[in-house]
Amino acid sequence: MTAIILDGKQLAQDMRGELAEEVTDFFENNSITPKLAAVLVGEDPASEVYVRNKQIACQKAGIESELHRLDADTAEDDLLALITRLNKDNDVHGILVQLPLPGHISTERILRAVNPMKDVDAFHPENVGLLVQGRPRYLPCTPSGVREILRRYEVPTVGKHIVIAGRSDIVGKPLANMLLTRGADGDATVTVCHSKTSDLAEITRTADILVAAIGRPRMLTAEMIKPGAVVVDVGINRTEDGLVGDVDFDGAKEIASHITPVPRGVGPMTVTMLLFNTLQAARLQAF
């Protein structure tokens, strides 16, 4: 058995076409163009590529974007001053602070400073709390992309055992909360594993749906996957072989029923969901 490929890149392209139509409709009815402001501190190569991809995606969807570049040695107070200015700018609907930030800047303090209504990454404590309560304002982009892949490829979650390998605030924790909510895209039994989990393989082999978000290349092997399971690989790792995920793809695809590749998997969906959040932010701020 060779797994069905869950092509996130193609799905993202399809969804961005839908988004462009929604943006056009929103402008025609409100004379407002959604606008995203991105803040990049320093010159991290991966962050540079990610921000550039977001700008291109915004342009194609009809969303305005602006990039604020700051030197790596920018003082924390200067960054806070920029965020305050963007918070007050009524033409800016979404604010994205590209992570990671330089070590001398408190990530927690910066994320708290972003107006929750403009927090399209859904990192602000207020938006995290709303998600935990099951009434999210915005859905975190990568977890939302994972859930959208499952939904659009008609992979059911109701009653399924979903194992998430990784407990980060960006992926593991929010995704677990999303999959626990009542409804057709949730109602799962969720287990979250992490670096202190005993006998990881024993747990991953019980998963109907296995989500890998560990940050270690090819850590999850075929022997750790239940035959017929759906595998979603969130990992992006740069190696001598190029970009690889947290799953050993070649082995896993012979065991799983469905699998996301790396690249062309979850990554393109993350950017797409950010754009949908920016449109949602514009809608909420218009009324």
Two structure tokens written together for 37: 């402001």
- Does residue 196 carry a catalytic annotation? no
- Does residue 248 carry a catalytic annotation? no
Cβ(187)–Cβ(156) below 8 Å: no
Beta carbons within 10 angstroms of residue 134's beta carbon: 13
- Does residue 285 carry a catalytic annotation? no
Catalytic residue among 98, 160, 226, 248: 98
Please choose, from the candidates 218, 212, 215, 251, the residue with its C-alpha nearest in 3D space to the C-alpha of residue 232. Answer: 212
Distance CA 257, CA 168 (A): 26
Catalytic residue among 54, 160, 173, 226: 54
Provide CB contacts within 8 A for 57, sequence distance 6+. Answer: 16, 271, 272, 275
Return the residue matching tokens 């062309």: 264
Catalytic residue among 35, 118, 119, 121: 121
Beta strand 94-97 with 161-165 is unpaired
Distance CA 33, CA 274 (A): 16
Residues with active-site annotation: 54, 98, 121
